[in-house]
Structure 1
């Protein structure tokens, strides 16, 4: 075996080593080279308890964007869609409050230069749609962040509009179109595309690490068809990667898209040179070109990496959420192995564990201090009798700070993440132990504030003063 060759044994060995080091509960991995399936396997268990195998359906999240882009390119090849025509020519229902939206082209949806962005359309924190039709309809009051074609901004709604376009022009529901024209021709027997988290099969749900242990949790509510709704398996993704690496031909020579369209899908815009049509472009540490896309749900992650020079395809689907990026870490390690480099091993002690322990201690300390504050509220109020009202008010105001931070956590996240949108409940999935501490602190400080305020305003008796002298 050459140093730059992946084998089933070397993949198994690394993945099991990674799982032992991190506690990753379940993961599926696929490796192809050219037209050959090197390996497809599952490891560990899903939250439902079933063993993960090569055929276990799991979420690929935003890797779905490459599937949506291919579906659009099929319609382009049939002459039903023009990449550089306004979206509204093909999808008249696509209307926004911003008049510039009339000039958004199909290509700009797929390379994410439409001008739509989380900063002006809060797609996650707004009420969620139940269908692609509703996803497009809710854009009516929205405005653009920038003029179409001038700036790149990663925004899921671009691909929801593109998927709706496929429905309307293709003449059938998006899920049916994908099954008939993409999944079935490529032999992807376990692949579907779904609308919301309610449609996820039990095996496609995931976990968060809390205090170093994987905890199964339901995915928070959200809509993802077109942008993140594909459910697939390791075995199915081998077929997908072979088609990508063989100019649009799957196993057995079945063609789902032309070589010209594959090249088009890997051609970026001048406004976003590292993003093409549903694919990210980059290079390995060795300088080899990479075509890839990652995918993040709040309880699972995925990564598909194509190495055009060597013909390798690597896919990983992990049963832990976006805060941990296990899929990306494993994919990076397998790319390193494919290039003859030593993969980066996970740390002996996870930094997430150290953070969790620190925040768990902070939560315990907060509980103790709050208990003392509640027990001493009457004494505190008596001692404040006769003192400056402003001084007393300023002391009580400090107890409002955790509540203020809790209420503004989502807007603060948007600022720190340069405009990316998030719903308040979703913060629990990114920072679980921090949010547990923050909510605990908020509830307890409100209780102390209410108790001390009550004792301040209640009628004072002579016995109160004598009791606490």
Structure 2
């Protein structure tokens, strides 16, 4: 493996051009290796309406990457003997109930590794947020109307609800609010002093969320809804800069040791967090879940990771402990694949030359389909296939994500045009065929 990346100036130039000519609104990238921060960069706009650039101090909403901090907090409490991972949740939250006779069997460990049988949340109420300290407990009380999907411990099923319960457990066991515990015992001691789980504390520095629309051409606009609700703080609301996230990666790669001799966790806790506990069915790179982390392999290297996706934001955190390397990418748009950045950077760390990062074929073709029509879009696709293959990556799932995004915001005709192009480009894709059939049926129904 390379000891260091190519010159920072060269990588900055590549990333600057990538963002300037592609669908990302704002982007920030951090790379650590061998207990050093070897690269950070900020690109694009924090707010496309105002033109404010992403800066050194810009914070991003990390969505589900927040969960890796929650498991760190729970493991801290376990090390202090205040929580037993295999004890029932009701031992710590006696008011926790469900409309299911099996709920008393749910353990703390099963919440951490998504094997509790808990369903996932369907409505985060981003458009009607709560801000008071009691919101988390009220949310846990509201879970009483839910039933389990399966027997606790039987299988993997990702659940944000599980992590809200864990956040309330942290609060009740520690005697602090969830956000205060995270600040005093994880963020500040780890040197993440610009970060917070409480939006009100850091609002002035947070990038604006952006969604994909076709209301004025094709592109991103600032979302009218910001993804914050204090009831969902544990699963979703870490706000952090790339510099703080680099400190966070270094802490974990160093088995819990951070600045000023702070030890977030002991090695035994890492053995528990980073050991496979259940298969996910999510592919080679996320083959198993540990406690709060997904475990897999990328080109022969062990990978620990978590991604985040909420309205207007995407994030991806990857650790390669055997190589002592970490990569974090954050963006303030929710419709672009972050792997288009993280994977080329990972390949570069493995020794591949990096002259440019490929752009999204799906976004390029979708833009032309909306602004110039399907025929022009397909002509451009065939031209690129002949002349510029190395400049774009081709991914059918991105066409699906684009279609879902603009359909959600009411642009059904444009969504149909885009998925029709995708069907011509990927004639063998069953997922695209199903989506095309669905949108055509919806169009016929509304006529």
Q: TM-score range by the shorter chain?
A: 0.7 to 0.9
State yes or no: 1:255 paired with 2:268: no
Q: Give 1:283's aligned residue.
A: 297
How many residues align? The count is 380
The whole-number CA distance in structure 2 between the counterparts of 1:356 and 1:92 is 53
- TM-score, L = length of structure 1: 0.72
Q: Give 1:208's aligned residue.
A: 211
Superposition pairs for residues 33-182 of structure 1, below 5 Å? 33-47=33-47, 49-118=51-120, 122-124=122-124, 130=130, 131-182=135-186
Q: Give 1:242's aligned residue.
A: 250
Contact 1:69 1:277 in 2 (8 A): yes
Residues 431, 22 of structure 1: alpha-carbon distance in 2 compared, 3 angstrom cutoff: farther
210-219 or 168-177, which deviates more: 210-219
1:298 CA drift (Å): 2.1
State yes or no: 1:312 paired with 2:314: no
The whole-number CA distance in structure 1 between the counterparts of 2:204 and 2:163 is 22
Q: Which runs of 5+ in 1 are unaligned?
A: 364-416, 418-425, 450-469
Contact 1:191 1:236 in 2 (8 A): yes
Residues 344, 302 of structure 1: alpha-carbon distance in 2 compared, 3 angstrom cutoff: farther
Residues 127, 348 of structure 1: alpha-carbon distance in 2 compared, 3 angstrom cutoff: closer
The whole-number CA distance in structure 1 between the counterparts of 2:345 and 2:10 is 9
Match of 1:266 among 255, 263, 274: 274
Match of 1:324 among 310, 333, 336: 336
Q: Give 1:369's aligned residue.
A: none
Match of 1:293 among 306, 318, 323: 306
Q: Which runs of 5+ in 2 are unaligned?
A: 281-286, 375-396, 398-402, 417-438
- TM-score, L = length of structure 2: 0.76
1:319 CA drift (Å): 1.8
SS across alignment from 1:227: helix
Contact 2:97 2:103 in 1 (8 A): yes
Contact 1:40 1:54 in 2 (8 A): no
The whole-number CA distance in structure 1 between the counterparts of 2:266 and 2:108 is 18
Contact 1:242 1:251 in 2 (8 A): no
Q: Which has the larger radius of gyration?
A: 1
SS across alignment from 1:24: coil
The whole-number CA distance in structure 2 between the counterparts of 1:89 and 1:112 is 19
Contact 1:5 1:340 in 2 (8 A): no
1:237 CA drift (Å): 0.8
CA RMSD, Structure 1 to Structure 2 (Å): 3.5
Residues 111, 11 of structure 1: alpha-carbon distance in 2 compared, 3 angstrom cutoff: farther
Residues 438, 8 of structure 1: alpha-carbon distance in 2 compared, 3 angstrom cutoff: closer
SS across alignment from 1:226: helix
State yes or no: 1:340 paired with 2:351: yes
299-308 or 11-20, which deviates more: 11-20
The whole-number CA distance in structure 2 between the counterparts of 1:162 and 1:430 is 34
